[in-house]
A and B are shown apart, each in its own frame.
Chain A
Amino acid sequence: MTRAIYEFTESFRIAFSQIRANAMRSVLTALGVIIGIVAVTLMGTAINGIDIGFNRSLALLGDDVLYVQRWPWRRVPDWWNYVNRPAIQVEHAERLNRIFEATPNSLLEVAVPVGARGSSVKAGDVKLGGIMLFGTNADYSRIVTAEVADGRLFTDFEANAGRPVCVLGSAVAENLFPGRPSLGQSVDIRGQQFSVVGVLAKQGEFLGLFSFDNQIILPLNAMRKLWGNRMDLQLRVKVTDKTRLMEAEEELTGAMRRVRGQLPAERDNFSINQQQAFKEQLDPVKTGIAVAGLFITGLSLFVGAIGIMNITFVSVKERTKEIGTRKALGARRRTILLQFLIEAVSICLIGGAVGLAITYVTCLGISGALPELPVEFSSSLMLVSMVVSILTGIISGFAPALGASRLDPVDALRYE
């Protein structure tokens, strides 16, 4: 056992003096491994980054909220089955809430009606376009994903009475009232003055599509005074246990069908959406990156492995006499095998380390240039690339090392 350890350290010692002596040759040989490791780690980082960015965006939707809407969050080929669906109504929320209360152990906590529409708003001579207005009631406080940075959300009374009050997204507040506190100011929405009672904390963009900070929340009843029913109404339903979203969705489907009075044979005339739908859309993108990355990785590792196999064969040939000498001094087969395997693995490990360093610097560069991109260099990637490097070394070094270990000592000693 101790002998194995001594032979192991001896092998590393030889391997490194060998690599140092043939530095240029070793680096060139390791090139394939370097490229392979860069490819696999960059791919991993990209997928990781997409996941992180995506999850950040999805968190804005709330990971414990189901959305009841006319349309599903995915492309539907049979659009004609959806256009004639009845509109979602505010009183659906009230009736759902009564059902939730009457159901023992309900997974559903509360349904909140939210009307949405885009509009422009004004304050003084500042005019902002493309603002998302969300009209809702006081229950909104139970499903809101943002912190209220300043002030408050509106009260039950304000909501029911349709009082002209509003809560601003952080970007709206900054743009309308730069450098001034926005609480107590008023905002002109379609000619009506709304007074600001709260400001939300910064939330960020959703999938880079639109900013959650460009929204204004106001009482749904106040919004209806301005637009009537010309808005997109949805119900947001908070789930008590987000690990049981599927069951919650089933319960909600049943409750919604009861509210709508649907017959058992009828298909649902509403859709229940959740962030999961987005995740499924992203999967092919991730798969695409993974396939391309693995292809490049596989190809360069293959080329690298052949290079290393070749260099190990050359090394064995060059040192045939040394092998003979070592055998004469008592090196056993496995000792020689180990020595050349470790040499191949060491070259690969150095290649892997260089590859990792390149990826690391690239990641630093990217996150320096584009701070909003979630590039993260994970330790599991390091582990994966080390394992891949070692495996490449073992696979490519095995044949030449085995050949070396089986050399006849007399022939090897005679070799010039």
Chain B
Amino acid sequence: MIAPLPPAAAARSYRTPGNLVIRIEGVTKLYRMGAETVHALRGVNVEIRRNEYLAIMGPSGSGKSTLMNMLGCLDTPTAGRYDFNGKNVAHMVDDELAEIRNREIGFVFQTFNLLPRSDALHNVELPLVYAGVGPAERRERAFEALRNVGLGDRVHHRPNELSGGQRQRVAIARALVNRPSILLADEPTGNLDSRTGEEIMALFEQLYDQGNTIIVVTHEEDIARHARRIVRLRDGLIERDERS
């Protein structure tokens, strides 16, 4: 059911980065808390290409989640430019952003965020409902996405009938079902024990090999090491951007 872990020493695959997917230029984000202003991001520049596997790291409060929300089009910058697939999304309104999230971005959350009363299949179908895909095709594609994460035999289980690792796999299947440009995972192993966490990271490895573009936000070095590129944040600025 679960793909075997690649031996630690095994040679990692490197894919050649493709077209530019994300370009962020001079992005800032301010939060006003009463009289106080919090500079969550102070001018971030970053480019991300297709076929990259990138980790965003940094201590708590450094602006990881803020950047992540920005990348995921859940939020817009206070100032700066954000081009997604060549389109400036910095000034888009709610429903336009929803459209982009639906087609271009797959989210994986720390807390899985599955609908508790729906089975795995329906959970995975949800982005396709919002994309206007018909029922038959929806089922077909959701099945396939679940098979791809090793849950082909769990499609009619509800979240409370699945283990934590399996829930996160359902969430990953849901994130990928609409064939997004990027997979965004915010602390995807944060609620899992380390063994299960490693399994999820192995799955990411496999997805990367299949040609997905992956961005993982984490504060754990062990997790970040899986990525081919690490962007380190501190106090709302990029401190280092290194490729391995």
Partners in one complex: yes
In contact, A7 and B130 (Cβ under 8 angstroms) = yes
In the assembled complex, which residues on chain B have CB atoms less than 8 Å from the CB atom of A18?
117
Q: For chain B, give the interface size range.
A: 20 to 34
Q: Is A331 an interface residue (CB 8 A)?
A: yes
Q: Which of A190-198, A320-328, A386-394 contacts B (4 or more CB under 8 A)?
A: A320-328
Given A322-B115, A332-B95, A410-B69, are A7 and B129 also a contact pair (CB < 8 Å)?
yes
Most chain A CB within a 10 A radius of its CB, from B74, B117, B135: B74
Q: Is B77 an interface residue (CB 8 A)?
A: no
In the assembled complex, which residues on chain A have CB atoms less than 8 Å from the CB atom of B102?
329-330
Q: Is A247 an interface residue (CB 8 A)?
A: no
In the assembled complex, which residues on chain B have CB atoms less than 8 Å from the CB atom of A327?
74, 98, 101
Tally A-B pairs: CB < 8 A: 72
In contact, B72 and A330 (Cβ under 8 angstroms) = no
Q: Is A57 an interface residue (CB 8 A)?
A: no
In the assembled complex, which residues on chain A have CB atoms less than 8 Å from the CB atom of B99?
330, 332
> In the assembled complex, how far is the CB of residue A367 from the closest CB belonging to chain B, in whole angstroms?
43
In contact, B74 and A332 (Cβ under 8 angstroms) = no
In the assembled complex, which residues on chain B have CB atoms less than 8 Å from the CB atom of A89?
none
Q: Is B103 an interface residue (CB 8 A)?
A: yes
Q: Is A143 an interface residue (CB 8 A)?
A: no
In contact, B130 and A328 (Cβ under 8 angstroms) = no
* Docked complex: A293-347 residues within 8 A CB-CB of B: 321-322, 324-335
In contact, B109 and A17 (Cβ under 8 angstroms) = no
In contact, B174 and A329 (Cβ under 8 angstroms) = yes
In contact, A329 and B127 (Cβ under 8 angstroms) = yes
Q: Is A227 an interface residue (CB 8 A)?
A: no
Q: Is B235 an interface residue (CB 8 A)?
A: no
In contact, B107 and A2 (Cβ under 8 angstroms) = no
In the assembled complex, which residues on chain A have CB atoms less than 8 Å from the CB atom of B129?
6-7, 10
Nearest residue, chain B, Cβ from A21 = B117
Contact with A along B68-80 (1 / 0, CB 8 A): 0100101100000
In the assembled complex, which residues on chain A have CB atoms less than 8 Å from the CB atom of B75?
408-410
> In the assembled complex, how far is the CB of residue B190 from the closest CB belonging to chain A, in whole angstroms?
14
Q: Is A3 an interface residue (CB 8 A)?
A: yes
Our pick among B103, B117, B134 for the contact of A330 (Cβ within 8 Å) is B103
In contact, A335 and B117 (Cβ under 8 angstroms) = no
User: Once the chains are docked, how many angstroms separate the CA of A413 from the CA of B112?
Assistant: 11
> In the assembled complex, how far is the CB of residue A241 from the closest CB belonging to chain B, in whole angstroms?
60
In contact, A329 and B101 (Cβ under 8 angstroms) = yes
User: Once the chains are docked, how many angstroms separate the CA of A334 from the CA of B102?
Assistant: 15
User: Once the chains are docked, how many angstroms separate the CA of A10 from the CA of B117?
Assistant: 13
Our pick among B72, B98, B135 for the contact of A331 (Cβ within 8 Å) is B98
> In the assembled complex, how far is the CB of residue A299 from the closest CB belonging to chain B, in whole angstroms?
35
In contact, A410 and B98 (Cβ under 8 angstroms) = no
> In the assembled complex, how far is the CB of residue A400 from the closest CB belonging to chain B, in whole angstroms?
18
- Tally chain A residues at the interface, Cβ within 8 Å: 26
Nearest residue, chain A, Cβ from B66 = A410
Nearest residue, chain A, Cβ from B131 = A330
In contact, B130 and A409 (Cβ under 8 angstroms) = no
Q: Is B4 an interface residue (CB 8 A)?
A: no
User: Once the chains are docked, how many angstroms separate the CA of A2 from the CA of B134?
Assistant: 8
In contact, A329 and B95 (Cβ under 8 angstroms) = no
In the assembled complex, which residues on chain A have CB atoms less than 8 Å from the CB atom of B98?
327, 330-333
In the assembled complex, which residues on chain B have CB atoms less than 8 Å from the CB atom of A10?
126, 129
In contact, A325 and B109 (Cβ under 8 angstroms) = yes
User: Once the chains are docked, how many angstroms separate the CA of A322 from the CA of B126?
Assistant: 12
Given A330-B101, A333-B95, are A6 and B74 also a contact pair (CB < 8 Å)?
no
In the assembled complex, which residues on chain B have CB atoms less than 8 Å from the CB atom of A326?
126, 130
Given A325-B109, A328-B107, are A6 and B132 also a contact pair (CB < 8 Å)?
yes
Nearest residue, chain B, Cβ from A6 = B129
In the assembled complex, which residues on chain A have CB atoms less than 8 Å from the CB atom of B174?
329
In contact, A3 and B94 (Cβ under 8 angstroms) = no
Nearest residue, chain A, Cβ from B102 = A330
Contact with B along A167-210 (1 / 0, CB 8 A): 00000000000000000000000000000000000000000000
In contact, B127 and A330 (Cβ under 8 angstroms) = yes
User: Once the chains are docked, how many angstroms separate the CA of A327 from the CA of B69?
Assistant: 12
In the assembled complex, which residues on chain A have CB atoms less than 8 Å from the CB atom of B69?
410
In contact, A413 and B132 (Cβ under 8 angstroms) = no
User: Once the chains are docked, how many angstroms separate the CA of A347 from the CA of B171?
Assistant: 31
User: Once the chains are docked, how many angstroms separate the CA of A332 from the CA of B126?
Assistant: 13
In the assembled complex, which residues on chain A have CB atoms less than 8 Å from the CB atom of B133?
6
Contact with B along A14-26 (1 / 0, CB 8 A): 0001100100000
> In the assembled complex, how far is the CB of residue A79 from the closest CB belonging to chain B, in whole angstroms?
75
Q: Is B194 an interface residue (CB 8 A)?
A: no
User: Once the chains are docked, how many angstroms separate the CA of A6 from the CA of B139?
Assistant: 13
In contact, A335 and B134 (Cβ under 8 angstroms) = no
User: Once the chains are docked, how many angstroms separate the CA of A90 from the CA of B192?
Assistant: 106
In contact, A3 and B113 (Cβ under 8 angstroms) = no
> In the assembled complex, how far is the CB of residue A318 from the closest CB belonging to chain B, in whole angstroms?
11
Our pick among A2, A332, A333, A413 for the contact of B109 (Cβ within 8 Å) is A413
Q: Nearest 8 CB-CB pairs, A to B?
A: A330-B102, A3-B132, A330-B130, A325-B113, A332-B95, A332-B98, A329-B127, A409-B74
**Chain A residues packing against B (C-beta within 8 Å):** 2-3, 6-7, 10, 17-18, 21, 321-322, 324-335, 408-410, 413
Can you name 19 extra interface pairs (CB under 8 A) apart from A321-B113, A327-B101, A332-B94?
A2-B132, A6-B129, A6-B132, A7-B130, A21-B117, A322-B115, A325-B113, A325-B115, A327-B74, A327-B98, A328-B101, A329-B101, A329-B107, A330-B103, A330-B127, A332-B95, A332-B98, A333-B95, A333-B98
